[in-house]
Structure 1
Amino acid sequence: MSNIIVVFPKKEIATNIRNILVRSGFDVLAVTTTGAQALHYVDTLDDGVIVCGYRLSDMMYSDIRDYLPDSFQLLLIASADKWGDGLEEGVVGLPMPIKVYDLVNTLEMILQTMRRRRKKRREALKNRDPKQREIINQAKGLLMERNGMTEEEAHRYLQKNSMDTGTSMIETAQMILTIMSE
């Protein structure tokens, strides 16, 4: 499933882009007018794509990118002179005026790249050795015991912290064991 969030300061523009994407076969999770609303949705997801304009009512596209975990991509739709100097990592740009064909193909390319990354992560999870699995299970057990989490919530907590800090799940589990054992 693709987690697509459309963010533009004008609701009509955001709705039009959502309609184009839906007609092209994409599932759009949310349409918002502020970066804060978009980031609220991001907090509940593992990965996805934000389609946005250059300037929103509460922040710039670069501010949103700074708050996004690495598992999210940002598709910037703006005039080429706004990002002619280049874009930072995790941002793909489409020049205005936008062509439906370009929007659909670019988004499909981004989603395909994300699916490949997700598949690699799953394969890496399957290839963990028993010692690494035990460290993760110990950290989950500690989170379940001390914070009253279910196993699924503890696993999600480890995943989210791992993505937010840019560390592996093993390193995150070891940090939790170190911090909570003191």
Structure 2
Amino acid sequence: MVNSNVTIYTLPCLSDNYAYVVHNSASGTAAVVDVPEAGPLVDKISELNVPVTDIFLTHHHWDHIDGLPDLQAALTGSLSQAPARVIGAKADAHRLPTLDQAVSPGDRLTLCGIEGDIYDVSGHTLGHLALHLPSAKAVFTADSLMAMGCGRLFEGSAAQMWHSLQQLRALPQDTWVYSGHEYTASNMAFTHS
């Protein structure tokens, strides 16, 4: 069953990144997935006027985490909120900003009142996570799966990426994929080449 209380906002960041605000109107709270830069997130959170309880980081690359200090400062400063819990991969904690909760594949957690499942989608990087919110029919794949393609293999192997993609493929067919970048046009051009 779809959780009709959940709205997911896609926020373009940097030149081709996405960040996400997940708003749960039932709990009156929100969560953030990845923080390439703070500005678009602060603007949306201000507009919604809801507290952010959680910030989920998919992997350690700068274009997914560099806005975190500025977002945290804005949340506790100008937005007058309590600090949000920062969540990321236990296996990659040494390369991520300081985590309040380190999670592992197979873990279940609750963000802004919504239950989610953690998947290891290594390939692009080692320790890369995806977050599946079954009740919202949503999966946040960052750089593991994008429209018409997958992320480059910077650290992992093709076999790891294949395994990651197979896990994502096994999700219900009506699951919406929220990726970390807008590469659709370049991925389409590659498929035609």
- Common fold by TM > 0.5: no
TM-score (ref. length: structure 2): 0.30
TM-score (ref. length: structure 1): 0.32
Higher helix fraction: Structure 1 or Structure 2? 1
Largest Rg, 1 or 2: 1
